Structure 1
Amino acid sequence: MKHMILAGVALFALSTTNAANAQDVTLNLSNEYSATSIHGVGDARFASLVSEKSGGSVEVIVHYGGALGYKSADHFDAVGEGALEIADTYGGALGGIDPLFLISSLPFFVTTVEEAKMLYEVSEPEFQRVFEENNQILLYASPWPPSGIWSQDAISSTDALAGLKIRTYDKNGTTAFNEMGAAAVRLSWADVVPSISTGAIDAVLTSAEGGVSGSFWEHFDTFTEIYNYAIPLNFVHMSKDVFDGLNDDQQAAILEAAAETRDLNWASVPDRLANTYAQLDENNVSVVTSEDDAYRTALQAAGEAALNDWLETAGERGRVLIDAFNSAKAQ
C-alpha cells in the first residue's frame, strides 16, 4: 500500500507538471545503500548536476538506506511500473530478471577496474535493451571497489572457508563459495547487519568500502583480500514514461548529468580505496592478503564453476559477451 501511495503521488505530480510544460519536476531516486557509499556519493553528485544543468527545473531527491521501503530486488519492477522514478540498483539483484546482469560479478573474471570497465562497455548494449524492453532507460552504471571477506578472523585458506556461514550478494558468489565448502547464503544489503547481529552469518562478502559504510568494525576485526574477487556494478535506471514526460532541455540535463556522474564514479575508485583503507586502520581492522597458492588455485577453480553455471543460464548471449570481452582485452 505504501508503494501504491508513492506511485500515485509521483504520477499525479508528473501529470500536473506536464500540464505546466514540464517545469519544476521532482524525481525520487531510491538506493538501498548508505549516503557515504561510493554509489550514495555518486547519487548525490548526479542530483546536484541535474539541478545545475536543468537550471533548477528538475530536482532529484535521493533516498538512502532503502528509506522508501524498496530493496534493490524491488527496484526493477517499481521503476518499470512507474511507482518509482529512478533507482540505483546492485546488478546482482537483477540476475533473476536477466542472467546477463550477473556478468560483472563473475568470480575472478576481471581483476582490475580497467578490465571491469571494458567488460561493462561490451555488455552495455545488452543491458540497455533489457531496460528498454521493460519501459525503462539505463542512465549509467558504475563499479564497487573489489570484493573481499569481512570476518572475525582471517579467511586466508581453504580450511578457513569450510562450513563458514558467509553472506554473498548474488548467485555467482553462492555457487563459488559453496563449491569451496562454505555455507553461503545470498542476502540483500539491508539484511546483512541484522544477520550478523543474530549470528545467522559469520562473514560477509563485500568490498572494504561496503564494510566501512556499515561500520563493520563493530562486529568484525578482519578484512581478507581475495585476489580482487570481483568488481560488481550498480545500475541507475529511470522510468521511460517519466523521462518522456520531460521537455527536451530537461531530458538533456539528465543524460548529461548521468554521463558525467558515470565517468566520475569510475575515476573515483582508486581514491575511494585509499580513503577506505585509512578508515580501516583508524578502526583497528586488520587487512589480510593470503599468500597461499593452493588457496588461490581453489578460489579460481570455484570461480570457473560459477562461470560455467552462468553460461548454462545465459546461453549464447552470455558466450558472445565473454568472447567480445576477451577480444577487447587481447587488443
Structure 2
Amino acid sequence: MNIRTIATTGLTCALFSGLPAGADEVRFDLANEYSPTSLVASMDQDFIDTVAEKSGDTIVITPHFGGSLGFKSKDHFDLVGDGVLPIAGTYTGAFVGIDRMFALSSMPFLAPDVDGAKRLYEIAKPYYEEIFEQNGQKLLYASPYTPVGIWAGKALSSKEDLKDLKIRTYDAASNEVFQVIGAAPIQTSWSDVVPLLGTGGIDAVLTSDESGVTSNFWDYLSHFNALPYSIAINMTHMNADSFDALSPEQQAAIEEAAALVQERNWKRVEERVARNLDIMAEHGIAVVAPDPELVKDLSLASETVLTNWLADTGDDGKAIVSAFRGGS
C-alpha cells in the first residue's frame, strides 16, 4: 500500500490510496470541513456506503468530517488535484479564487429555491466538469444545502437593521452584497464561525438553517431570518489519476454511486427543511418570514454582483444564465 504521510499545523495524518499488494481492495480518504451530522456530510456518507455496495466492498472510503485532517475547504482543490487527498466534499465558494464559475450557485436571488438550484446546476455542470478535468480531477456529484438565510440575535426587516452588523459571509459575492448594504461583513471559513460567535467576533451568520442547526446556533443566537437568497452547494471531487487507476468495474461503481446519490441529494433537501423547522422550534429559535422591504434592499445591493460575474465569466456565464432564465 502506498502511504503518504503529511504534516499539518498541530496534526500529522496518513492518507491512503492505491491498491493493496495482492488484493483487489482500494482505500481512499474523503475530506469534508462540515460536521458529521450536517446534510452535506450525510450525502458524502451515502456515497461512501453506495460505493461499497456497488463495488462489492472492493472500494473502501474513509470519511474525515469536521475538518479532522486539518484542511479547510479552500485547501481541497489543490490537494485533490495534486493527489494528496484522493476525494473531498467542498463548498464551492471556496474555489471562487480558482475560477469565477464556482460563484454561480451563490449568486444572490438568482436561483433561491430547490427546483431552480437543481436546474441551474444541471445547466452549468459541463462547465464545472471541464474545470475539474483541466486540474487533474473528476467531478462526482453536488450536495445542495438548504436555503440560505441570516442567523442573528433579532428579527431583520430593513437595511437599517443590517447597518454595521458584524455578519459572517462565505464568499466574495455575499461579502460584496453586505458591504454595499452597509453591514460589516467578515468572510470566513466554516470552522471559524462558532469560535467567532463565542468571542463576539461576529453578531450574525449568513448560512442555511441546516448549518445553524447542526452547529447549535441557539447557544448564541435567537432568530433565523429566512430569505430567498440562494442555495449553496458542495461538490465532491476526486483525483483523476486515482480514478483512472481503478479497474473498469470499480470506475463503473464510482460513477453509478455518484449518479444515484446526486438524485437522492436534491430530494433530501426539502425533507431536511421541514425537519429543521421542528428542531429550531424545539430550541426556541424564532423563524422570521422574509420581509419584502429587506428582500428588496438586498436584491438591489446584489445587482452588481451578477453583472460583475457575467463580465468575469464571459460567453460561458452569459450562456448559462440565458439558458436558465429562458427555462431551457
- What CA distance in whole angstroms lies between the structure 2 residues aligned with 1:119 and 1:294? 26
In structure 2, the residue matched to 1:303 is 302
Is residue 322 from structure 1 mapped to residue 321 from structure 2 by the alignment? yes
In structure 2, the residue matched to 1:119 is 120
In structure 1, the residue matched to 2:252 is 252
- Residue 210 of structure 2 contacts residue 273 of structure 2 at CA under 8 Å; is this kept in 1? yes
Q: Deviations over 1:267-303 (max 9, x none)?
A: 1111100001100001010101143x33222111112
Q: Deviations over 1:54-86 (max 9, x none)?
A: 111111111100001111100000000000010
Is residue 30 from structure 1 mapped to residue 31 from structure 2 by the alignment? yes
Higher fraction of helix: 1
Judge which range, 302-311 or 53-62, deviates more: 302-311
Identity of aligned residues (%): 43
In structure 2, the residue matched to 1:193 is 194
- What CA distance in whole angstroms lies between the structure 1 residues aligned with 2:200 and 2:285? 20
Judge which range, 305-314 or 214-223, deviates more: 305-314
Question: CA shift at 1:188, angstroms?
Answer: 0.7
For 1:94-109, list aligned pairs within 5 A. 94-109=95-110
Residue number among 7, 23, 35 corresponding to 1:2 in the alignment: 7
- Residue 156 of structure 2 contacts residue 294 of structure 2 at CA under 8 Å; is this kept in 1? no
Specify every segment of 5 or more residues in structure 2 that has no aligned partner in the other structure, as ranges.
1-5
What letter is aligned with 2:282?
Answer: E
Judge which range, 193-202 or 273-282, deviates more: 193-202
Question: CA shift at 1:313, angstroms?
Answer: 2.2
- What CA distance in whole angstroms lies between the structure 2 residues aligned with 1:138 and 1:93? 15
Specify every segment of 5 or more residues in structure 1 that has no aligned partner in the other structure, as ranges.
none
In structure 1, the residue matched to 2:3 is none
In structure 2, the residue matched to 1:159 is 160
Is residue 65 from structure 1 mapped to residue 47 from structure 2 by the alignment? no
- What CA distance in whole angstroms lies between the structure 1 residues aligned with 2:116 and 2:310? 19
Count residues with an aligned counterpart.
321
Question: CA shift at 1:141, angstroms?
Answer: 0.9
- What CA distance in whole angstroms lies between the structure 2 residues aligned with 1:302 and 1:103? 17
What letter is aligned with 1:326?
Answer: R
Is residue 231 from structure 1 mapped to residue 231 from structure 2 by the alignment? yes
- Residue 158 of structure 2 contacts residue 297 of structure 2 at CA under 8 Å; is this kept in 1? no
Question: CA shift at 1:232, angstroms?
Answer: 1.2
What letter is aligned with 1:296?
Answer: V
1:35 match: secondary structure: coil
Question: CA shift at 1:315, angstroms?
Answer: 2.5
- Residue 164 of structure 1 contacts residue 182 of structure 1 at CA under 8 Å; is this kept in 2? yes
Q: Deviations over 1:227-255 (max 9, x none)?
A: x2101111000001111111111111111
Question: CA shift at 1:5, angstroms?
Answer: 6.9
- What CA distance in whole angstroms lies between the structure 2 residues aligned with 1:66 and 1:141? 19
2:185 match: secondary structure: strand
In structure 1, the residue matched to 2:281 is 281
Instruction: Compute the TM-score of the two structures, normalised by the length of structure 1.
Output: 0.93
Question: CA shift at 1:177, angstroms?
Answer: 0.9
- What CA distance in whole angstroms lies between the structure 2 residues aligned with 1:130 and 1:164? 36
In structure 2, the residue matched to 1:266 is 266
Q: Deviations over 1:128-152 (max 9, x none)?
A: 0000000000001121111000011
1:66 match: secondary structure: coil
- Residue 55 of structure 2 contacts residue 250 of structure 2 at CA under 8 Å; is this kept in 1? yes
Question: CA shift at 1:6, angstroms?
Answer: 5.1
1:183 match: secondary structure: coil
In structure 2, the residue matched to 1:215 is 216
What letter is aligned with 2:309?
Answer: W
Instruction: Compute the TM-score of the two structures, normalised by the length of structure 2.
Output: 0.94
- What CA distance in whole angstroms lies between the structure 2 residues aligned with 1:164 and 1:106? 21
- What CA distance in whole angstroms lies between the structure 1 residues aligned with 2:320 and 2:55? 36
- Residue 122 of structure 1 contacts residue 325 of structure 1 at CA under 8 Å; is this kept in 2? yes
- What CA distance in whole angstroms lies between the structure 2 residues aligned with 1:166 and 1:310? 22
- What CA distance in whole angstroms lies between the structure 2 residues aligned with 1:306 and 1:81? 32
- What CA distance in whole angstroms lies between the structure 2 residues aligned with 1:170 and 1:164? 17
- Residue 6 of structure 1 contacts residue 84 of structure 1 at CA under 8 Å; is this kept in 2? no
Q: Deviations over 1:142-192 (max 9, x none)?
A: 211110000111122111101111001111100111111011111110111
What letter is aligned with 2:300?
Answer: A
2:62 match: secondary structure: strand
